[in-house]
Every structure is written in structure tokens, then in C-alpha cells.
Chains A and B, each alone.
Chain A
Amino acid sequence: MPGRSLLEKIWDQHVIARLSEDTDLLHIDRHLLHDLGGSRGLLDLKSRGLKVHNPELTFATPDHALSTAPGRAGTSKIGMELLAALRVETAASGITLFDVDQPGQGIVHVIGPELGLSLPGATIVCGDSHTCTHGGLGALAFGIGSSELTHVLATQALIQKRPKTLRARFEGRLPLGVTAKDMILALIGHIGAAGGTGYAVEYAGSAIRALPIEGRLTICNLSIELGAKMGMVAPDETTFEFLRGRPYAPQGEMWDLAVKAWRELPSDPDAVFDREVVIDVEKIIPQVTWGISPEHVVGVDGVIPDPKAVDDPARRAAIETALEYMGLQGGAPIAGTPIDWVFIGSCTNSRLSDLRAAAEVARGRKVAAGVRAWVVPGSENVKREAVAEGLDKIFIEAGFEWREPGCSMCLAANGEVVGPGQRSVSTSNRNFVGRQGPRARTHLASPASAAASAIAGAIADVRMMGR
């Protein structure tokens, strides 16, 4: 029998019942709720006359519908209602809520790892597709829909089909100015936005081992943009060091027990994957998207694809549609494209290391005239730590706006939008049509690239900034 992969080991540990050859009833270890769907799920459960099966395994925080303006000014009436409902329903069910202005509040995918709620080997779900983020700690984490959310509330279990496995190995040493965000965008460019559909992706290789946890979380975050609802990195010493002492991480003897179990999780050397991809990271340069799918990505020193040079009619039409929406010319260099907005934030890139990288570029410089640049920390704790380090001052002096933690302009659910026809460089994860507002044009990039672009007033190569 061949060895087992990380996915298979975690999966097997969670099977409550085998429902068919490839479908199991899995135990769910952590269920995270947010303001957009949390109270709806709890109310749905109530209307069925059911109770939350395991409130102690369920945690909630508001992030999506909350304004990130100072003082939360501008949160919509519906956003306030959702927040009120989340408070009432979590309290009634005995679910811990990390509320506004409290340590612990933040984007669900930032707070899970930060609080030590997300652990290696755990199954973690949330009604949000970027739940794959938590896989950076060696968890089996994935997004679910509203019906599945109700199912988990009612049963603490979920019916899941065993996915195929894909191992993406990043090998080599990351060049200067190139980040985790660039690694994963390069992979998406390489295998496409549906390249991972039906798979659980394990990220491996020397470049992944060398990444700190926050970089691994960024990589796993974009698994869903690869089409894969699960992405994971095997836990190692870096993982254990990250988790040690976090509020919800195990303590004392229990910590030792847990680490012992976690050491057994990495894929066996002879584990077999349904698909393998190898990426040479030394060839990666900072990435930026030019179109309306994360797979529409080029190196920042590259050119926008020219539809006239493409033979396949379907591909040509797709490029034409994207360029028309984006207001770009095929064949032109992507760098130097003037921008209106910069957004540094989202569950992809709003952790302390992301803010440090952006601040490093911004320090002593000025945001270009005509550009509005926002920095939105991922959580209350990230905000406090950044302030303690003086990052907020660096940003404010450089002309960035420093905001309250939340999802903000990543999804434009609370009036925080990029205007029609305006162009933004964003550290988030989706450059979809209208994602940052009706007819908004989004270019995805790393925090360092986004900061460099804010200073330049145009899409910029951070490697040219001389730091």
C-alpha cells in the first residue's frame, strides 16, 4: 500500500460514517461564522426547531458588512442589523463572538490562525470560499454554502466527497522583491483558474518550507482562485512556533500531545498524488493581473496579451472581453498603467508581515497625487501590533489612509467601492468584473507592489524602488 498524503491522513481521522465509496460524513472541528451569513444560518436553524450541535466549536466575528472607516462610520443600516442579529443569535446559542473593537475581531481568515483556533489536522469550515486560507497551518479547511452551514450548525458534521489530490511543489530560493502572493499568482497563471477544480492542493517544496506562516496563509488563501476549495501546507517546526502560546492553542501537557500528533501528519514520502506541478521560484518576478480572472496574470515587466496574436478564437474573445472591461490595450507594457486606487488589505494580505512589507516601501515617500491609497489591517490585533510598531504613522505620513479592520474594499459590501471605470491595485484575491464596485477595474498584486504603485501613481515594479 502506498503511503498516505496529508489530506488522506486528516480526512481519515474525521470520518464519522462512510456514505458511499467516495463520500463520507466528516466531523467538523471548527466552524467560523461571519456577519453576512452567520445570523442567517442560526435563524434558519431556529426556524427548523434545531439547536447548535456544538457551540463550543463554533466562533463568530463581524467583518464583511462592517464599514472600516474610522469609528465604523458609514456602516449601512443592513450592516448594523446583521451585526445586531449576530450578537443576539450567538449569545442565545452560547457561541463565542469576537465583537467590534475587541481583540479577536477581524476577518475570519485572519483571526482563526491568529487566535490559535485554526490548528494542524483540524477540519475547519466557514461560509466563505477563502476558508482554504487556514490550510497554511496544516488544517483541512474549506468554504461552504448556506445550506451546508446550517447542516454544520445542526450536526457538527458535513457530507463531503473525497477530492483528488494535487501537489504543487515550489522549489528554489525566492528572488528579492518576490513574495508568497507572487508565487501563488504565478501558479494560477500557469495552470489556470480551473486548474485545481476538484482537487485538494498540497503546497510543498523548499520554497514553501522556507516561508513563514503568514506567507503560507497567503498561498493557501488563493487556492480557491485556482478552483481548489482546499489548499494546505504540511505542519512543521515553523507551524508549531507560530502557534505556541496563542490564546486557543493547546497549553502544557496538551500542547506536547498535540505536537506529537501533528508531527505524524505530513505526507509520507511514497504518498501518491493525482497530479503534480513543479514551479521554479527563481524564475518568478512580481506578478500583477491585467484582466478579469486571477489567471489573467503577467510579470510586472511583461506586456498585456495581444488578442491579435492569439489563434484560438475562444481565447482571443476572452482576452478581448477582459481588455475591454479593463480599458487596456493588448501589447502594451503593464507597468506604467496609471491608477486611481490602492487597497492594501483582505484575508490574502492584511497580516502584520504584509503591512510591514508595504510600510517598508512607503517609508519616507508620498502617495502620488490623484491616487487614494487605503491600508486596512486584517484584525484588531494586527491593527494594535502595527500601531505599536508605528506602521500607521509611516502610512499616514506617506499619504495612505489607515482604517479599521475588516473586509472593506475587497468585496465592496458596505459602500467602500472603487468608482466606475476607476483602476485599483489591490492586495486582495479577486479581480472579477464588478468585485470592487460596479465597473471597477482591479489589478491584483502583492503588498510591496501595491505600495510601490501607490507611490508611482501607476502599476510599478517594486524591484525598481531601490529597497
Chain B
Amino acid sequence: MPKPFDKLTATAAPIMRSNIDTDVIIRIERLVGNGIRGTLGKWAFGSLRYLPDGSENPDFILNREPYRDAEILVTGPNFGCGSSREGAVWSLQERGIRAIIGSGFGDIFFANCFQNGILPIIIDKAMVDQLAADIEATQGAGKVSIDLEAQTIVSPSGARHSFEIDPRRREGLLKGLDEVALTLQRDDEIHAFQTADRTARPWIHSTRTPASRTSA
């Protein structure tokens, strides 16, 4: 069940490159196995964070003070595109990230964030760029504040941006709702749908009698 999210004031790190895909956020070999939760934080952005010899890359923003403790990422266009791996979100979460502000996100990554109590915020690219510039002007010392209830972001310069978010998603985050439990409350409706659908589209439901062979 996701942790509720309402307000956050924290260090924010701008990572402005376009099209940072989920393979870059977490490499696949870190995700192979069923016991990976809790092991991923140190591998987030591995290819950017570490040099080929395994040492930290001092140029990468999350290796620099005060960004090392960032709980907010400010990102370039199309952040989180690519693979559906929820491990990308888990690795950011385990790294301490609680909100991501950008002009657009990969659709599946965006949905995965909400499932884990991470708030992804979409605002205009010009506003994202301004926010990144404001943060950099304070060398990261200036904090960013997010208020989900009021749907506002306050930049280190004091500039206030408002954002929009789907009301269902917002409520889910504010309360830390568990979608599986909520949907199971509608199990009667699911069964009613399936009963009617078995008549309307029987070919969808009768999968237990494949033609004798499985070779095509």
C-alpha cells in the first residue's frame, strides 16, 4: 500500500536531459529476481552515477552536495520513457525520491509512480526550465515546496506555480489508497460484466479447449 503524500519541502535536483529512459534509471540485471525490493536505491541511475571502474562520477548531480539528499527531481522532457519496469520507480523511491516535476513522462512510468506514492507533476516546459534555473541559482540550497492538496509548487525564488492532477489520482495519493482493495469492492460488478460478456463474446472466455495442438 502506498505511503500517503500531502506536502513536501525538500532539496530538488534538476536532471534535464531529454528522454531519460527507464533502462537508464535502473539496469535490467538489477531487476532479475524476486527479492530485489530494498536493494535498488544504490543502483538508481547507475550508468550516470558510477564510472566504469565502479567509483562515483563526481560530475553527476546526485553525487554532489546538497543534491545527494534530494527528495525531488526536476526532469527534462519524456522522463521515464521506455520499459514498463516498475523497478525504475522502486529504485528512485529507495533512493529517497518522493516527487518528480517535468514537462512530460512516459505513460507507464507515470502510472507506476502513483502506485508507489511518488507524485509526478506535469507543468509547462518553460516553468520546468525556470524552476531548474532557480534551483541552480542557489546551488541547490534553496528548497522546493509542493502542496498536493492546493496543487502548488513554490520555487526557491518564491515563484509559485500551480499544477493540475487527476482528482482520482490526487485522492489516492493523499490517502495512500490501495487500488486492489478498492476494486475488489466492485467484485459483483466484475462478475456481472463477465456473465453478460460470456454471452456477448463467448470466444473470449472459452480458452480451455484449444485446438488439440499448440503448434501454430
Contact = CB atoms under 8 A, between A and B. Distances in A.
Contacts of A57: 204-205, 207
Interface in B157-216: 166-168, 179-180, 183-184, 186-187, 189-190, 193-194, 197, 201-208, 210-211, 213-216
Nearest to A295: B19
A176 interface: no
A249 to B, nearest CB: 8
Contacts of B214: 98, 102-104, 115, 247
Nearest to B105: A197
A53 B183 CA distance: 12
A45 B31 CA distance: 19
Contacts of B77: 194
Contacts of A190: none
A163 B84 CA distance: 17
B202 to A, nearest CB: 6
Contact of A43 (B19, B34, B166, B205): B34
A155 B116 contact: no
A145 B108 contact: yes
Interface in A77-124: 78-79, 81-82, 85, 98, 102-104, 114-117, 119, 121-122
Contact of A103 (B107, B116, B190, B215): B215
Contact of A78 (B32, B52, B183, B184): B32
B15 to A, nearest CB: 13
Contact of A143 (B108, B197, B210): B108
A102 B213 CA distance: 11
A145 B24 contact: no
B23 A435 contact: yes
A254 B19 contact: no
A467 B79 CA distance: 42
Interface in A157-202: 157, 159, 161, 163, 193-194, 197-198
A347 to B, nearest CB: 12
B21 interface: yes
Given A104-B214, A254-B206, A293-B19, A145 B111 contact: yes
A29 B84 contact: no
Contacts of A53: 190
Interface string B1-26: 00000000000000001110101100
Contacts of B107: 163, 197-198, 227-229
A121 B200 CA distance: 12
Interface string B24-46: 10011101111000000000000
B32 A27 contact: no
B111 A148 contact: yes
A116 B89 CA distance: 34
A43 B33 CA distance: 12
A128 B213 CA distance: 27
Interface of A is mostly: loop
Interface residues of A, number: 97
A57 B208 CA distance: 9
A222 B31 CA distance: 23
A19 interface: yes
Interface stretch (A300-308, A331-339, A426-434): A426-434
B155 interface: no
A381 B213 CA distance: 12
B75 interface: no
Interface of A: 13, 16-17, 19-20, 22-23, 25, 27, 29, 36, 39-40, 43, 48, 50, 53-54, 56-57, 65, 76, 78-79, 81-82, 85, 98, 102-104, 114-117, 119, 121-122, 127-129, 143-148, 150-151, 154-157, 159, 161, 163, 193-194, 197-198, 224-225, 227-229, 245-251, 254-255, 257-258, 261, 292-293, 295, 314, 318, 321, 381, 384, 411-414, 420, 430, 432-435, 438-439
Closest 8 CB pairs of A and B: A147-B115, A250-B203, A145-B86, A145-B112, A103-B215, A146-B86, A194-B78, A143-B84
Given A23-B166, A36-B32, A435-B23, 11 more contacts: A19-B168, A20-B168, A128-B84, A147-B112, A147-B115, A151-B180, A155-B190, A248-B210, A250-B203, A434-B47, A438-B27
